[in-house]
Structure 1
Amino acid sequence: MNTKFMTRTAILLAITIVFQFMKMPQLVTGSVVNAMLLIAAGTVGMWSGITIGCLTPIIAFLVGIMGFPLMIPFIMIGNSLYVMLFSMQKNKILGMILGALVKFIWLAISVKYIIQLFNVKVPLKIVQAFTTPQFVTAIIGGILGLIVISLLENYFRFSKE
């Protein structure tokens, strides 16, 4: 880790936190957070996206956005899978779609089955939030992220000339 990595990751995390503090509906907040994960991965590197993806559920819990702390490690893993699959694919659109699908499947299985193995009753509202909306927000965020990455790549390319 170098100073450039830490600085850029911190700036992207700060922008993400600002959106989390706005406490908008899940469709908006989730989409923006997913976009920021891919923007971080696409501009700074995979570990930047993973770092932000692991910190955002903790912050969401601390600011009262997410009221079911047992989901935090599962969200961290889901976000990391999303970023890793995106980062490892040459075709970024395919990587984003694959990452969104795997994140959705992981979170749906986690909330419906894994947590319940520990005899924890998961409220219906939480189950609903961590199933289909996760796929939708990952796709919307992914599209936004790809657009921003493309714009930033063009900006960086022209600013070097």
Structure 2
Amino acid sequence: MKIKYLTTMGILLALTVVVQMIGLPKILTGIAVNAILLIAYQVLGTAWGATIGLITPFTAFLFGIAGKPIFIPFIAAGNVVYVVLFSILNRYNQYVGIGLASLIKTLIIVSSMILITGNAFSVVFSGQSHQLPAAILGGLLASAISKVLKISLKQNNYI
């Protein structure tokens, strides 16, 4: 069973890298990456989704998507909180989970950038304004995809 989980995680991580490499606008890349994080959670579990969330900021930096390397740990933290908070709130209300997880993720990333750069909220948020809609839309996309994906994987005895 662990091999199936590792294989699925590898596929999702590879898909994330491909999305980051092809040079889409930040908003589209963000939507896709956030969707993959929550699909990983919904198909494999919280730890697997969080693990991909830890890795993606490093790959984003390698492909020139992320800014300075000093922000990588905070983006990773935002991703992990996004997955974990969604996994908790999803039990009660999926849409509240998507909304609150997206908001907290955005606040973590924006507030860390304010603290590090010393810039005003308005300056930092204008450069990171894609974070909140990308997280929300990624969550909605993940919701739609994971329902179909889980059915398919169960029918094929994959999970």
TM bin (shorter chain): 0.7 to 0.9
- CA deviation after TM superposition for structure 1 residue 104, in Å: 1.0
| Higher mean displacement: 149-158 or 70-79 | 149-158
Q: Which residue of 1 aligns with 2:116?
A: 115
Q: Distance in 1 between matches of 2:117 and 2:110?
A: 12
Q: Which residue of 2 aligns with 1:5?
A: 5
1:25-44 map, 5 Å: 25-44=25-44
- CA deviation after TM superposition for structure 1 residue 115, in Å: 1.1
1:134 to 109, 121, 131: 131
Q: Distance in 2 between matches of 1:129 and 1:42?
A: 30
1:35-114 map, 5 Å: 35-89=35-89, 90=91, 91-112=93-114, 114=115
Check conservation: 1:111, 1:127, Cα contact below 8 A: no
Q: Distance in 2 between matches of 1:60 and 1:32?
A: 13
CA 1:52 to 1:125, structure 2 compared with 1: closer, same or farther past 3 Å? Answer: farther
1:109-153 CA distance string (max 9 Å, x none) = 1111x2136xxx79x9865333x3110100111111110011113
Q: Distance in 2 between matches of 1:104 and 1:65?
A: 17
| Structure 1, unaligned runs of 5 or more | none
1:48-88 CA distance string (max 9 Å, x none) = 11111111110111122223111100000000000001111
| Alignment partner of 1:155 is 2:152 | yes
| Structure 2, unaligned runs of 5 or more | none
| Alignment partner of 1:15 is 2:9 | no
How many aligned residue pairs are there? 154
RMSD: 2.2
Q: Distance in 2 between matches of 1:34 and 1:106?
A: 15
Tell me the percent identity.
Answer: 38
| Higher mean displacement: 61-70 or 97-106 | 61-70
Q: Which residue of 1 aligns with 2:141?
A: 144
Check conservation: 1:68, 1:126, Cα contact below 8 A: no
CA 1:125 to 1:25, structure 2 compared with 1: closer, same or farther past 3 Å? Answer: farther
